[in-house]
Amino acid sequence: DAGFSSTFFSGIEPKTRQPVRLDESVHSPALAPFRLSVSPAVTCLEVLSQIGLRTYNRTFFITLINRNGQDMPVTLTVRHQKKIIYQKKYRFAGSHKERLDDTLTLSLRKAVATSPEALRFEATPVFGRKDKAMPASAEVVLKPVSASVSPNAYVGVVETYDRTHLDLLQAFGVRYDLLDSALLAKGDLQKYTAILLDLRAYAYRHDLAQSTSKVLAYVKRGGNVICCYHKTFDWNGHGFSPYPITLTRERVTEEDAPVTILVQEHPLLNNPNKLGSADWADWQQERNLYLPSDDTLQTSPEYVRLLAMSDSGEQEPPTSLLWAKYGKGTYTYTALALYRQLRTLNIGAVKLFLNMISQPIGQ
């Protein structure tokens, strides 16, 4: 999330928080002169089975910040189950005196039980004899998640400003390609079983807007497009979808708002993972945002309304998850705040996301 406010990500102001006391802020890791951040903060734990490898790989993105303005060597140590599994030396110097970024792929031993585990990352700096800096640390939760994805899934991703979806695809071993301008313009999109249009993709990827007709042709020939939430001014009036969708500023901000499944047997809610009432628990910050209008003159009746939810005393439209056939393929639009839930590997959000990318190619 570095560099972006919570308003930027969600489109709404964060909930009111208690002010931070001055004495607390002095010890805040975010204000420390030397700090470490690791992403993702939560990833999938793999459990040992009778067959298969005894280890698995996970990729992490490391950022080291040095506000002291001095050359400084640093040793990064990673521990799993209290044992050192990785060490690497870095040095803040020259043009890299304030920030260092790295990508690490770690080999982890599979667990023997389905209990959460943790990786501890610790960066230890060394100044001169007179100066000292406190080590910085970060912890990554390894969380067991029981969910399935089609072994045939091959996803083309139009990426924007958030890695959450990519982290999940990697954790579940899903094949994917990042669709850059060249691939969008001239690539063979039909080889993908699904194309994922990331958060506010049409606002941040002008090349996507220029490829609208090609994306819709992909659907018509049998592909599956999954479009994540957009804001009204990103979307309305541009004709990005196969049938009209008009976004509103309505949203459901109660994380525990009851969810009603409107089409019980729909594939998005059953294959390969069946979603039940428990799968809507423990959501964070909001259920959805910028809901499409339910007026069929604004949002086509071709879209099946799959979910209904509302804040207490309100009547928000049942348009959190829309799905339509178009030619031989399908088009899914979701206003759900899935990305927030996927960051913590909320089981229901994971199941729904994997269901969306597991849809078969239309014949």
**What percent of the chain clears pLDDT 70, i.e. is strictly above it?**
89
Residue 237, in any domain of the structure: yes
Lowest mean pLDDT among 7-21, 62-76, 129-143, 284-298: 7-21
Q: For residue 1, is it within any domain?
A: no
CATH code (residue 227): 3.40.50.880
- Note whether residue 178 is domain-resident: yes
When divided into structural domains, the chain yields a total of 2
Q: How confident is the model at residue 14 (pLDDT cuts 50, 70, 90)?
A: very low
Looking at every residue in the chain, the average pLDDT score rounds to: 90
The DSSP-derived string for 227-238 is: E----HHHHTTS
Report yes or no: 275 and 269 within 8 Å, Cβ to Cβ. yes
H or E stretch covering 348: helix 347-357
The whole domain housing 339 covers 154-357
pLDDT band per the 50, 70, 90 thresholds, residue 67:
confident
Residue that terminates a domain, selected from 119, 144, 169 = 144
Can you tell me the mean pLDDT for 158-186?
95
Closest Cα to residue 283, out of 257, 263, 251, 264? 257
Residue 211 domain flag = yes
Calpha distance 95→309 (Å, rounded) = 51
CA 265 to chain CA centroid, Å, is 26
Asked if residue 168 and residue 87 are part of one domain, the reply reads no
Residues 119 and 237 in one domain: no
Averaging pLDDT over each range in 20-34, 40-54, 283-297, which range is the top one?
Answer: 283-297
Among 21-25, 55-59, 176-180, which stretch is predicted with the lowest mean pLDDT? 21-25
Q: What is the pLDDT of residue 77?
A: 97
Rounded percentage of the chain residues whose pLDDT exceeds 90: 80
Confidence of residue 50 (pLDDT cuts 50, 70, 90): low
pLDDT band at 51 (very low <50, low <70, confident <90, very high): low
Shared domain for 91 and 171, answered yes or no, is no
pLDDT digits (tens, 9 = 90+) for 97-109: 899 999 999 999 9
> Smallest Cα–Cα separation from 226: which of 358, 56, 133?
358
Segment 234-279, tens digit of pLDDT: 999 999 999 999 999 999 999 999 999 999 999 999 999 999 999 9
CA 306 to chain centroid, in Å, comes to: 21
The amino acid at residue 244 is P
5 vs 197, residue with greater confidence: 197
Tell me what pLDDT residue 213 has: 97
Q: What pLDDT, on the 0 to 100 scale, is given for residue 95?
A: 83
What is the chain's length? Answer: 363
> Residues 145-166, buried b or exposed e (16+ Cβ, 10 A)?
bebebbeebebbbbbbebbbbb
Confidence of residue 30 (pLDDT cuts 50, 70, 90): low
For residues 90 and 198, membership in a common domain is answered with no
Weakest-pLDDT range from 64-73, 86-95, 101-110, 309-318: 64-73
Identify whether residues 125 and 84 lie together within a single domain: yes
